[in-house]
């Protein structure tokens, strides 16, 4: 069996820190910043989220057969949010099937849900709308008066999906994706004026069709999923999805309104390149069909989008989110999609403190495919930590057994699993032949990986951990063993407070991110942390110097300055160096500031030596 002793080397291992005692959490758990990891919804596509004045986020996504609303006080809580099916179509009606991409809008004191649907014939998709009977998003809905089953259409009455509403200069417009004719050749983005929330009052105008190379991957050709975005200056953008949604090339394009009248096609300019696209280096494929929302305190802008769960996954997708910024010219800067499982700061206003979380510095990790696999199947999968998973653990004699070589003591066992059964499944856990009960796996979707945990005590010498078939079904990626007691803690550089420096994706970094080349004047990264005991600590720094040349940084510990030398050889390989500092019990502040030369930082580990 392949055994790896891991020092928080992958993000999946780092997540366990949020549940472990640490120098910070042992004294003041609420003082650490709140973190989350993608996906925020384990199974789903076409996400729509809106923040209401009642303090809740209301969320919808494609279900296919009904309209379901979730509500959550936080964006990071969408997966486990309260749900309610607010509408189920009448069987056999013209809008009873293929219910896609619902959107919830608050207009004129009522809620309106726009959605695409048909009768099962894919060529009959049209847009429909429901109207709330009151102001409660979770209340009753019905078809607006005067409509036939809530159908909303322009005079052409052509195939239509992904409708949304643009409000601009006291007027409303309907924006959607549709066919030019009656054949599935190409989907365009259209706009038309609205008389009221359920009535289109004029002819449609084509704003965009797939014309650029990055829009033309897959057939039929596709522009779809238009979403409205406005900046502080009042500029209007339509961010849309391009190329086949089943391909790894699905991406986001953008239109900008350049003159006053949005009904004139010439008043919209198309960005020549996609504004958000796949990043194979980060194992992210097919990011598309999104919505935009503010953080709870209104200070941050977030994009919520779906992406393929792994390379070649097609329509097997989950929902993710990340913060975005604005360029100097007023256009949005979505950056690069962050790899799944990367720890990110939660949206501003979700709670949590200012301290940088202390993550466990020593973890023992064992890949399932490297274990003893009996009557089960090893499957290659780019969405897993080791590139493979063990599935088909479906039979009474099916199991995966791990030969564990870790010091004796108490551990938290993390089983990284996926379950798409729709209800909790279990595996039987055995240690050295002794049954310890079941490990429970709540359902978040196949190929969406979560950690189930159990406390476990390892004996001296080698131990055997076996997971075998119990109830329903689940797949296993790996197991992690996190010591209950440790003196080594890890602090991710990108989770510190950055000045004239930037966190960027780097898939082989511990959290799939690093602080990029700290070469700018006065660049620094600051870490407010807390430790249980005063004394001398060793700071072990993982760094990279791709430019070569030795560099020097200044380390500040509570106002005291130390110099750290980074030996540069022009290498893209991660290296380690160490320096000792004295810390007091309780809150401390450590910062890294530019001295001479430039380095990239992954993390530092903190270990008390005296």
**Distance of alpha carbon 391 from alpha carbon 377, whole angstroms:** 5
**Has 46 been annotated as catalytic?**
yes
**Distance of alpha carbon 152 from alpha carbon 132, whole angstroms:** 16
**Has 224 been annotated as catalytic?**
yes
DSSP letters spanning 44-68: -SS-EEEE-TTS-EEEE---BSSEE
Return the number of other C-beta atoms located less than 10 Å from residue 372's C-beta: 12
Return the number of other C-beta atoms located less than 10 Å from residue 125's C-beta: 23
- Nearest residue to 253 via CA among 267, 269, 273: 273
**Distance of alpha carbon 214 from alpha carbon 247, whole angstroms:** 12
DSSP letters spanning 295-339: -TTS--EEEEEEEESSTT-TT-EEEEEEEEEE-TTS-EE--SPPP
Question: Given 224, 477, 492, 506, which residue is catalytic?
Answer: 224
Write the secondary structure of 567-598 as one string of H (helix), E (strand) and C (coil).
CCCCEEEEEEEEEEEEECCEEEEEEEEEEECC
E runs forming strands in 205-257? 205-208, 223-230, 236-242, 251-257
**Distance of alpha carbon 150 from alpha carbon 126, whole angstroms:** 10
**Distance of alpha carbon 556 from alpha carbon 588, whole angstroms:** 10
**Distance of alpha carbon 368 from alpha carbon 414, whole angstroms:** 12
Beta partners for residue 419, in sequence order: 445
Question: Given 46, 301, 367, 600, which residue is catalytic?
Answer: 46
CA atoms within 13 A on the CB side of 224: 23
Tokens, residue 179: 């066919």
Catalytic annotation, residues: 46, 224
């Amino acid at each position: 069996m392949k055994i790896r002793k891991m020092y928080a080397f992958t993000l999946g291992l780092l997540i366990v820190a949020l549940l472990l005692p640490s120098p910070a959490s042992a004294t003041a758990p609420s003082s650490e910043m709140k973190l989350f990891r993608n996906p925020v919804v384990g199974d789903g596509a076409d996400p729509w989220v809106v923040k209401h004045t009642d303090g809740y986020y209301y969320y919808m996504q494609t279900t296919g057969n009904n309209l379901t609303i979730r509500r959550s006080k936080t964006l990071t809580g969408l997966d486990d949010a309260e749900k309610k099916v607010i509408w189920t179509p009448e069987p056999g009606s013209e809008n009873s099937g293929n219910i896609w991409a619902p959107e919830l809008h608050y207009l004129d004191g009522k809620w309106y849900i726009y959605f695409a649907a048909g009768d099962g014939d894919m060529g009959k998709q049209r847009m429909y709308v429901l109207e709330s009977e009151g102001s409660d998003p979770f209340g009753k809905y019905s078809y607006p008066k005067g409509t036939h089953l809530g159908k909303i259409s322009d005079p052409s009455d052509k195939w239509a999906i992904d409708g949304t509403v643009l409000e601009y200069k006291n007027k409303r417009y309907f924006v959607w994706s549709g066919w030019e004719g009656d054949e599935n050749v190409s989907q365009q983005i259209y706009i038309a004026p609205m008389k009221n929330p359920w009535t289109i009052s004029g002819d449609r105008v084509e704003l965009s069709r797939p014309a650029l190379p990055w829009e033309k991957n897959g057939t039929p050709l596709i522009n779809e999923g238009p979403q409205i975005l406005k900046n502080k200056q009042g500029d209007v953008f339509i961010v849309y999805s391009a190329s086949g949604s089943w391909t790894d090339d699905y991406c986001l394009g953008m239109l900008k309104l350049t003159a006053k009248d949005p009904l004139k096609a010439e008043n919209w300019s198309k960005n020549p390149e996609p504004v958000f696209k796949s990043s194979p280096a980060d194992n992210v494929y097919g990011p598309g069909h999104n919505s935009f929302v503010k953080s709870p305190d209104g200070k941050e802008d977030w994009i919520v989008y779906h992406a393929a769960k792994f390379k070649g996954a097609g329509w097997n997708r989950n929902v993710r989110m990340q913060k975005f910024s604005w360029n100097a010219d007023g256009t949005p800067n979505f950056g690069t999609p962050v790899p799944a499982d990367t720890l990110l700061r939660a949206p501003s206003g979700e709670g949590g403190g200012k301290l940088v979380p202390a993550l466990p510095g020593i973890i023992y990790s064992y890949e399932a495919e490297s274990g003893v696999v009996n009557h089960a199947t090893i499957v290659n999968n780019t969405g897993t930590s080791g590139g493979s998973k063990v599935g088909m653990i479906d039979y009474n004699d099916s199991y995966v057994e791990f030969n564990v070589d870790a010091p004796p003591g108490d551990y938290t066992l993390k089983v990284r699993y996926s379950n798409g059964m729709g209800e909790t499944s279990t595996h039987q856990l055995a240690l050295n032949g002794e049954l310890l009960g079941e490990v429970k796996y709540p359902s978040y979707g196949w190929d969406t990986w979560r950690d189930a945990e159990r406390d476990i005590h390892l004996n001296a010498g080698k131990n055997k951990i076996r997971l075998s078939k119990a109830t329903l079904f689940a797949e296993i990626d790996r197991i992690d063993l996190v010591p209950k007691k440790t003196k080594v803690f890890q602090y991710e550089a990108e989770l510190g407070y950055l000045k004239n420096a930037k966190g960027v994706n780097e898939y082989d970094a511990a959290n799939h991110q690093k602080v990029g080349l700290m070469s700018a004047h006065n660049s620094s990264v600051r870490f407010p942390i807390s430790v249980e005991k005063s004394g001398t600590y060793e700071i072990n720094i993982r760094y990279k110097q791709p430019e070569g040349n030795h560099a020097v940084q200044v380390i500040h510990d509570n106002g005291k300055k130390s110099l750290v030398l980074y030996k540069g050889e022009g290498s893209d390989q991660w290296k380690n160096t160490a320096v000792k500092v004295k810390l007091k019990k309780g809150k401390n502040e450590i910062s890294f500031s530019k001295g001479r030369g430039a380095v990239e930082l992954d993390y530092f580990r903190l270990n008390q030596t005296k």
